Amino acid sequence: MKVKWAVVLALLLVGTAFFLSDRIAEDPEYLQEQAAGSGAIVAEVFLSAGHTEPALDCIELFAMADPDNPDLLWVKGDALSSLGRYEEAVACYDIVLMKDPKNPEMLVGKADALSMAGELDEALVICEQALASEPETMAALDKAGYLNLRLGRYLEAADYYDTITEARPGDAAAWIRRGDAFLYISIKQEEQLKETYRSLGTPGAAARASFPNIDPYMEAMDCYNQAIALDPKTAPFLAARLVARSEITVNTCEDILENLGK
* pLDDT per residue as tens digits for the range 125-184: 999 999 999 999 999 999 999 999 999 999 999 999 999 999 999 999 999 999 999 999
> Helix 52-63 vs helix 28-48: angle between axes, to the nearest 10 degrees?
170
- Report yes or no: 184 and 149 within 8 Å, Cβ to Cβ: yes
- What is the predicted pLDDT for the residue at 83? 93
Rounded to whole angstroms, the Cα distance separating 144 from 155 reads: 12
The helix/strand/coil state of 200 is strand
Cα-only R_g, the chain: 25
Residues ≥6 apart with Cβ < 8 Å to 219: 179, 182
pLDDT exceeds cutoff 50 at 66: yes
- What is the predicted pLDDT for the residue at 14? 47
pTM value is: 0.78
Which H helix or E strand runs over 140?
A: helix 138-150
pLDDT in tens, 188-225: 988 887 777 766 655 555 545 555 566 899 999 999 99
Please report which confidence band the pLDDT of residue 13 belongs to, taking 50, 70 and 90 as the band edges: low
pLDDT exceeds cutoff 50 at 121: yes
Q: Residues 234-248: what's their mean pLDDT?
A: 91
For 242-260, the DSSP string reads: HHHHHHHHHHHHHHHHHHT
pLDDT exceeds cutoff 60 at 28: no
pLDDT exceeds cutoff 50 at 244: yes
- What is the predicted pLDDT for the residue at 54? 84
Task: Please state which of the ranges 34-38, 98-102, 150-154 shows the lowest mean pLDDT.
Answer: 34-38
More confident residue, 258 or 140: 140
- What is the predicted pLDDT for the residue at 17? 47
Please report which confidence band the pLDDT of residue 107 belongs to, taking 50, 70 and 90 as the band edges: very high
- Measured in degrees and rounded to the nearest 5, phi and psi for residue 103 equal -65, 110
Burial of 255 (0-12, 13-18, 19+ CB in 10 A): middle
More confident residue, 14 or 254: 254
| Dihedral over Cα of 36, 38, 41, 44: its sign | negative
Rounded to whole angstroms, the Cα distance separating 98 from 129 reads: 14
Share of the chain above pLDDT 70, in %: 78
Rounded to whole angstroms, the Cα distance separating 227 from 236 reads: 12
pLDDT exceeds cutoff 50 at 18: no
